[in-house]
Amino acid sequence: MGLHYFGTDGVRGVAGVSLTAEMAYRIGRYIGQYPHGTKNKIIISRDTRESGEMLLNAIVKGMVASGAEVFDEGVSTTPSISYLVRKNHFAYGIMISASHNPYSDNGIKIFNGEGEKLSDAIEEEIEGYMDKKEDDLPLVQGSSRLDPSLKESYIAWLLSKADPKVKNVKLLVDCANGSASAVAPELFKRLGCEVTFIHAEPNGQNINAACGSTHLESLKEALGHGSYDFGFAYDGDADRFMAFSSDGHLIDGDALIYLNALAMRKKKTLHQDKVVITVMSNFGLRKALDEAKIGYAIVAVGDKNVQAKLKEDHLSLGGEQSGHVIFLDDLNTGDGLLSGIKLLNLYEEDQQSFQSLRLLVVYPQVLTNIKVASKEQVAAIMNSKGLADLEAKETLRLGSQGRILVRPSGTEPLIRVMAEALDNQLCHDVVNELVRYISGGK
């Protein structure tokens, strides 16, 4: 049975339209008592979207009506939930966030007791209950309370991951007007870094708005007006991380994986000398890993897929070009704040190690998102013979060192088109041909 509410990263939609308080309440009712008859302890948090409080209140109401004991962390990051649910032996952790999406969207991410995203099987059970007309679950009075000590515990854990010598580093940090705004200032202050923050004044509507890890232009421009060791950028819920070096070199997820893989192999903490990357990872990363004699497994896009492969193959490092990087010995999901600390540790240990980025030759990559009317329309276009034929034709144009990736978004009604090759103009030409076809088929 296919999932129709849950995507690659929980339930996501336009707040109040395709993601309503009633839906949140019903999810809460089911999770609050699952497995059946269980009185669960559950942690919850949210990002800074204006719809977050409405959805949080609704899902908490549902969980409490099913007898759950709910602990509210307050505004915090998605990775904090993954960490705290495991540390404090909660049955589930819930994050109200739509990550890098615009403020009008919101989402519900659910973690199991190990801090992992829910399995498809449990998501199917939840959807089955959501589709029922009747609410046949018993009403049992639970409780809820705000617990600020949870966020403090998370910050203390992050600090424990930092090299004690990481001090006096000069940083420019873009919080995307999101979750990082509620954690990063205290974290970096206690680290002893000299930090200037931008986009750290959320108003409910400015999350990810021309800022953060998906809109790096303002961070790059601001770096040019000061003297900084690094520029850091997070997305709305701070599970993604991107950085710029002092000379303006972009350190994306691919570069983070490469740098950390080299360092971890030296320390013998890179299990099996192998990492997990995705189909979106740049071909240049594959070549650099080959030359460094570091193995890699390639999975579909989504940190859930990366984490599953890491766990299956007993590996310790993997991630996505977009900035989700998972250090599995530390946490079961990507954590942007942790990734930033790992980068500072590398900088403190050996600044010369960043010279190895010269060996990571990034192939030109052109990526375009095409809005489509509905998920059904997305499926129709993706399954069309015309698109398959055009992909085959354009792949031949790119040659043996080029590739095309056309895939549906797992969170929005979008088709993502990517072309990668040594010739940047050719990439643009190929993407334009594919966009023309898909737009005509919308």
Q: Which residues are catalytic?
A: 99
Q: Which residue has the tokens 């643009």?
A: 428
Q: How far apart are CA 364 and CA 347, in angstroms?
A: 27
